[in-house]
C-alpha cells in the first residue's frame, strides 16, 4: 500500500509508531504502553524470562517469580479451554433475550497449580456478553478469589456510574456476592467492549492474572449490507502469562491459535487488548487491516492500514480478506523503548488454503458521527500526568488517587476540551469512564479525525487534546492511565458530573 497517507484515526492508535512522521503527529519514536516502571522495582524473573514488558507491581503474582523460574513444569490446565493445543476457540457467548441479559460471574483462581491465574466463570478469558442498545444487563458477581476484594467495570459503556451500575467505588469482599445492573441507552454505539476488575491497588494483579471478558453491543454497522453477512471472530488478547515454557501472550486463552481461511474469504475481526499493561502492535503478514471501528465506536469511513497499536484496554474492529494460499503470522511487532520496550511475538497463525472464493465488496462509508470540532466549548482544562512529582511515583495534577477526593467537577451536558499533558518519559494511555471523546490535536497539531474513543496514548513529553460531552449521567467516576500498575500506584483521579 505505497504512498497512502496514514489515516489520522489510525494515528490515534499508532502514535509514534513506525509511520508516525508520515502522520504528522509530532513526537518521533516508538509507541510504548508496556509495563515498565521507571524508578520502581521489577520482579527479577521478568528480566530473566526475557520479557521486560510485564511490569512491576505493588505485589507479584501469588507464585513467587524466583521460585517459578526453578520450578518443575506444572500441568498448565488453564490454557486448555479449546479442543487441543493451538486450536482456535472463543469463550462461551451469553446473549440477551427479550431485552434482558442475566449473567452470573464468579471470579475465582484457576485450577492449575502454582500459576496464580484467575478467571470469570472458569474460562480464560471470561464469557462474552452480547446485548443490544436498550437492553438491561444484570451481572451477579461472586468474589471467590480467596482473599482480596474485587469489583467490576464495564470498559467503554455509556451507562450510569452510580448505585449498582458502573460504580467502581464499590468493593466486593471475598465470599460476597453483588448484582450490577446496567441499563444500556437506546442510542448506545454498537461495538466491542470489555469488562474487568477495577479495584484500586489490585487492578494490575487481577487483570494480569486473567480476569477479563468481552462484551459486544450489537446493531449499528452490523446491519450494513457489506458487513452483515460476514463471519465474526472475537479476539481477547491477553498476557504476558508466566508458564513453565516462559512468558506467553494468548488469544482467547490459547497460545498462537491456528486459523484457516479460503483465498478471497472475508471475515470481521473484533480485536481487544484486555491485558493489564502490555501493548499489542498488530500486523498480519501480507494482509492489510480494513479498519471499521475503534473502542466500541464505528468509524465514518473504512480505513486500510498495515498495523494497529492497541494499548491496554483498546479495541479495533477490522475486516480481513484472505490473500493467496500460504501461511501468514499475526504478530505483535517489537515496540516501545526503555522500560516499556516489548519484543516481537506471534499472536496467531493464519493458513490460507482451499478453493478461492470471490472477494466480497468492502464497505467504504460506514456510520457518520458529529464532528465536535464545530461544537461550542463550555470549558477548557489542562490535565497533567506525572511520574516522580512531589515524591509520588505516579500522579495526575500533583495528586495521587484518593477515593474520597473529587478532583474535577463537571456540569451535566457541558462540552469540555481537555489538554492531556504527559510530563513523564513514558507513554500513558488516558482512559475515562462513561463518556467517549474525540481527539482534536496531538502535541498541538490538529488531528483531523472524526471518531470516538475511550482511550488514547499520551506520548512522552507530549500532549493530546480531546473534546467530550458529559451527557445523560451524573455521578462520580474516574479517569486514569490504563497501564494498570500506574493506575494502582496513583495515576487516577475522580470526576463528578453534577446536575
Ligand atoms: Cu501510565
Ligand 1 centre to CA of 429 (Å) is 6
Domain residue limits, the chain: 8-36+226-352, 77-222, 372-498
Ligand 1 centre to CA of 144 (Å) is 29
Higher pLDDT, 474 or 40: 474
Torsion angle, alpha carbons of 330, 238, 162, 402, to 10: -120
pLDDT of residue 297: 94
Confidence band of 245 (pLDDT split at 50, 70, 90): confident
Ligand 1 centre to CA of 215 (Å) is 24
Ligand 1 centre to CA of 427 (Å) is 6
- The least confident of 47-51, 170-174, 204-208 is 47-51
Ligand 1 centre to CA of 189 (Å) is 27
Ligand 1 centre to CA of 39 (Å) is 13
Ligand 1 centre to CA of 483 (Å) is 5
Q: Are 8-36+226-352 and 77-222 equal in CATH topology?
A: yes
Confidence band of 12 (pLDDT split at 50, 70, 90): very low
Higher pLDDT, 61 or 485: 485
Ligand 1 centre to CA of 349 (Å) is 31
Ligand 1 centre to CA of 468 (Å) is 21
Contact 239/249 with Cβ under 8 angstroms? Answer: yes
Taking CA atoms, 118 is separated from 244, 279, 318, 336, 393, in Å, by: 17, 21, 29, 28, 27
Second-level CATH architecture of 8-36+226-352: Sandwich (2.60)
Ligand 1 centre to CA of 480 (Å) is 8
Confidence band of 51 (pLDDT split at 50, 70, 90): very low
Ligand 1 centre to CA of 51 (Å) is 18
Ligand 1 centre to CA of 179 (Å) is 31
The 10s digit of each residue's pLDDT in 89-135 is 899 999 999 999 999 999 999 877 677 899 999 988 999 999 999 99
Burial class (CB in 10 A: 0-12, 13-18, 19+), 33: buried
What does the pLDDT average to over 472-494?
96
If one counts every other C-beta atom within 10 angstroms of the C-beta of residue 88, the result is 17
Q: Which of 224, 425, 235, 442 is nearest to 338 (CA)?
A: 425
Ligand 1 centre to CA of 481 (Å) is 5
The CATH code of the domain at 372-498 is: 2.60.40.420
Q: Provide the CB-side half-sphere exposure for 45 (13 A, CA).
A: 19
Confidence band of 197 (pLDDT split at 50, 70, 90): very high
What does the pLDDT average to over 225-240?
96
Ligand 1 centre to CA of 188 (Å) is 28
Q: Which residues are CB-contacts of 424 (< 8 A; sequence separation ≥ 6)?
A: 38, 385, 386, 387, 388, 460, 461
Ligand 1 centre to CA of 490 (Å) is 10
What does the pLDDT average to over 421-428?
95
Q: Which residues are CB-contacts of 57 (< 8 A; sequence separation ≥ 6)?
A: 43, 204, 205, 208, 485, 488
Contact 296/310 with Cβ under 8 angstroms? Answer: no
- The least confident of 14-28, 132-146, 463-477 is 14-28
Higher pLDDT, 13 or 315: 315
Ligand 1 centre to CA of 355 (Å) is 47
Ligand 1 centre to CA of 22 (Å) is 26
Ligand 1 centre to CA of 472 (Å) is 29
Tell me the CATH class for 77-222.
Answer: mainly beta
**What pTM was computed for the model?**
0.86
Q: To the nearest whole percent, how much of the chain has pLDDT over 90?
A: 75
Amino acid at each position: 500500500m505505497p504512498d497512502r497517507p496514514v489515516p489520522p484515526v489510525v494515528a490515534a492508535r499508532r502514535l509514534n509508531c513506525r509511520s508516525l512522521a508520515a502522520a504528522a503527529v509530532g513526537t518521533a519514536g516508538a509507541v510504548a504502553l508496556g509495563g515498565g516502571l521507571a524508578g520502581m522495582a521489577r520482579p527479577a524473573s521478568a528480566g530473566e524470562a526475557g520479557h521486560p514488558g510485564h511490569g512491576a507491581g505493588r505485589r507479584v503474582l501469588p507464585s513467587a517469580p524466583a521460585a517459578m523460574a526453578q520450578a518443575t513444569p506444572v500441568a498448565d490446565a488453564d490454557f486448555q479451554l479449546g479442543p487441543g493445543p493451538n486450536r482456535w476457540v472463543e469463550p462461551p457467548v451469553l446473549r440477551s433475550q427479550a431485552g434482558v441479559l442475566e449473567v452470573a460471574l464468579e471470579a475465582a483462581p484457576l485450577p492449575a497449580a502454582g500459576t496464580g491465574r484467575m478467571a470469570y466463570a472458569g474460562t480464560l478469558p471470561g464469557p462474552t456478553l452480547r446485548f443490544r442498545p436498550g437492553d438491561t444487563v444484570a451481572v451477579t458477581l461472586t468474589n471467590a478469589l480467596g482473599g482480596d476484594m474485587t469489583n467490576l467495570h464495564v470498559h467503554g459503556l455509556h451507562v450510569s456510574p452510580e448505585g449498582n451500575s458502573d460504580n467502581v467505588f464499590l468493593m466486593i469482599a471475598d465470599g460476597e456476592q453483588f448484582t450490577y445492573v446496567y441499563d444500556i441507552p437506546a442510542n448506545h454505539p454498537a461495538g466491542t467492549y470489555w469488562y474487568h476488575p477495577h479495584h484500586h491497588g489490585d487492578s494490575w494483579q487481577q487483570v494480569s492474572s486473567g480476569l477479563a471478558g468481552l462484551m459486544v453491543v450489537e446493531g449499528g454497522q452490523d446491519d450494513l449490507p457489506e458487513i452483515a453477512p460476514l463471519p465474526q471472530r472475537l479476539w481477547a488478547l491477553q498476557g504476558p502469562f508466566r508458564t513453565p515454557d516462559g512468558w506467553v501472550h494468548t488469544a482467547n486463552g490459547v497460545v498462537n491459535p491456528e486459523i484457516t481461511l479460503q483465498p478471497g474469504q472475508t471475515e470481521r475481526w473484533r480485536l481487544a487488548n484486555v491485558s493489564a499493561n502490555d501493548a499489542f502492535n498488530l500486523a498480519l503478514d501480507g494482509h492489510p487491516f480494513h479498519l471499521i471501528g475503534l473502542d466500541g465506536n464505528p468509524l465514518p469511513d473504512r480505513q486500510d492500514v498495515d498495523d494497529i497499536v492497541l494499548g491496554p484496554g483498546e479495541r479495533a474492529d477490522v475486516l480481513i480478506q484472505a490473500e493467496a494460499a500460504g501461511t501468514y503470522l499475526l504478530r505483535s511487532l517489537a515496540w516501545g523503548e526503555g522500560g516499556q520496550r516489548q519484543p516481537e511475538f506471534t499472536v496467531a497463525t493464519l493458513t490460507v488454503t482451499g478453493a478461492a472464493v470471490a472477494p466480497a465488496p468492502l464497505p467504504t462509508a460506514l456510520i457518520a458521527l458529529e464532528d465536535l470540532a464545530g461544537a461550542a466549548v463550555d470549558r477548557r482544562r489542562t490535565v497533567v500526568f506525572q511520574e516522580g512529582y512531589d515524591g509520588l511515583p505516579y500522579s495526575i495534577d500533583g495528586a495521587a488517587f484518593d477515593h474520597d477526593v473529587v478532583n474535577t467537577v463537571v456540569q451535566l451536558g457541558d462540552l469540555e476540551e481537555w489538554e492531556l499533558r504527559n510530563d513523564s518519559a513514558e507513554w500513558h494511555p488516558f482512559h475515562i469512564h462513561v463518556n467517549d471523546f474525540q481527539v482534536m490535536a496531538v502535541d498541538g497539531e490538529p488531528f483531523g479525525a472524526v471518531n470516538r474513543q475511550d482511550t488514547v496514548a499520551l506520548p512522552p513529553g507530549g500532549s493530546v487534546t480531546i473534546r467530550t460531552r458529559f451527557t445523560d449521567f451524573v455521578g462520580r467516576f474516574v479517569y486514569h492511565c490504563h497501564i494498570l500498575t500506574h493506575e494502582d500506584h496513583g495515576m487516577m483521579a475522580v470526576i463528578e458530573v453534577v446536575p
